[in-house]
């Protein structure tokens, strides 16, 4: 194996220095075509191959960039948006960031509704992109932020993106995410595809494309152990527009931000039966696996990515030898600085770091001591 094969895997991806062969008209054109990366034997079980589709390579670092482009371009094509209009969405953060990006590029205003528990860095990112961010009480859960978004649109005549109900969401994944996976595994084995769900767009659209082309691929859908909405078998009661009427009885709070709101999204419920297995993910394992990906693979993904990869690794352990498992990593770990993912990680130097610092005499910053520049 040559150096380039070792670096780039199979020789079918562009080498460094090749560029992209052209320039983009605007940032929204860079959405999609995210890379698939092999997980090493440090984490993958022997005799099986595990891969990650790294959606944090999208311009605003999450899979929701696809959704935002899909919904806004669909609304433009239908004449539902005109210059200067306001786009509204209820979100755990990534969709809001993506919508704020597209609105900034297109010249729309963005108002994002976000429930209190979600990470504060997401609020700041949306505001940096020019969006107004409205925070709703924790007790209202996901349905509360949806109600607030509906109220604001009814009051002001704004456009509601309806990410949980909008068909443009899953259709974009059917046209992009699914074909990307199929093209990247063209001529190669793929036995399992693993995803969680937030709106259900990735599962519905990419899953449909994968099953149509490779019906033998087993689809594994992951769900938080603390919020087994699909496992319960109880459907979400809906308003006439498809939005949830109330909180699902099986929902309890969980740490996997972006996964499984307190209702079953209509985009997910409308999907044909695509998955071969429903897998329950403990929150602590999702956090642990995200940390393991960072420490062992250099892959910085969020808690949802940790949950998907935990599922993929567990599936691989039980799959026949030679199995090839692909997991979706929805976003970057940088979205989680104020969450349990980073809670044990201190900003200040720990004891091991202080020992390294003190191993040479100059430029020391030791707690409780005067700073040292040049040693005497």
| Residue spans of alpha helices (H) in 57-140 | 64-77, 94-106, 120-128
Q: Of these residues, 53, 64, 148, 208, which one is catalytic?
A: 64
Angle in degrees, 0-180, between the axes of helices 94-106 and 120-128, rounded to the nearest 10 = 0
Report the C-alpha gap between 14 and 248 in whole angstroms.
Answer: 46
Q: Is 92 a catalytic residue?
A: no
Q: What share of the chain is helix, strand, coil (3-state, %, to 5)?
A: 40, 15, 45
Q: Is 304 a catalytic residue?
A: yes
Q: Of these residues, 62, 119, 304, 323, which one is catalytic?
A: 304
Report the C-alpha gap between 40 and 212 in whole angstroms.
Answer: 29
127: left (phi over 0), alpha (psi -120 to 50) or beta: alpha
Q: Residue 136 phi/psi, 5° resolution?
A: -110, 160
In degrees to the nearest 10, what's the CA dihedral of 254, 257, 261, 267?
-140
Report the C-alpha gap between 353 and 206 in whole angstroms.
Answer: 45
The catalytic residues are 64, 304
């Amino acid at each position: 194996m040559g150096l380039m094969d070792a670096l780039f895997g199979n020789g079918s991806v562009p080498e460094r220095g090749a560029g992209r062969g052209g320039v983009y008209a605007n940032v929204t054109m860079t959405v999609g075509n995210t890379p698939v990366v092999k997980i090493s034997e440090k984490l993958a079980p022997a005799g099986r191959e595990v891969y990650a589709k790294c959606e944090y390579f999208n311009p605003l670092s999450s899979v929701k960039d696809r959704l935002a482009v899909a919904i806004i371009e669909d609304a433009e094509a239908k004449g539902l948006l005109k210059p200067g209009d306001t786009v509204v969405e209820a979100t755990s953060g990534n969709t809001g960031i993506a919508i704020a990006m597209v609105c900034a590029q297109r010249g729309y205003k963005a108002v994002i509704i976000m429930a209190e528990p979600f990470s504060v860095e997401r609020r700041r990112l949306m505001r940096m992109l020019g969006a107004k961010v409205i925070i709703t009480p924790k007790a209202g859960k996901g349905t509360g932020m949806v109600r607030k978004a509906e109220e604001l649109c009814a009051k002001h005549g704004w456009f509601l993106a309806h990410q949980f109900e909008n068909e443009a969401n899953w259709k974009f994944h059917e046209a992009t995410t699914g074909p990307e996976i199929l093209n990247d595994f063209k001529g190669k084995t793929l036995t399992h595809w693993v995803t969680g769900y937030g709106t259900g767009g990735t599962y519905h659209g990419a899953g449909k494309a994968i099953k149509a082309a490779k019906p033998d691929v087993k689809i594994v859908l992951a769900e938080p152990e603390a919020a087994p909405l699909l496992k319960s078998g109880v459907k979400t009661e809906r308003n006439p527009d498809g939005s949830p009427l109330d909180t699902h009885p099986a929902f309890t709070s969980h740490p996997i931000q972006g996964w499984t709101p307190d209702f079953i999204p209509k985009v997910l419920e409308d999907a044909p039966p695509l998955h071969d297995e429903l897998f329950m993910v403990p929150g602590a394992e999702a956090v642990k696996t995200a940390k393991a990906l960072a420490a062992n693979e250099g892959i910085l993904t969020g808690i949802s990515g940790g949950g998907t990869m935990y599922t993929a690794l567990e599936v691989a352990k039980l799959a026949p030898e030679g199995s090839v498992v692909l997991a979706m990593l929805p976003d970057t770990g940088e979205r989680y600085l104020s969450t349990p993912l980073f809670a044990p990680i201190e900003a200040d130097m720990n004891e091991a770091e202080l020992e390294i610092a003190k191993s040479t005499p100059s430029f020391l910053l030791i707690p409780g001591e005067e700073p040292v520049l040049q040693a005497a």
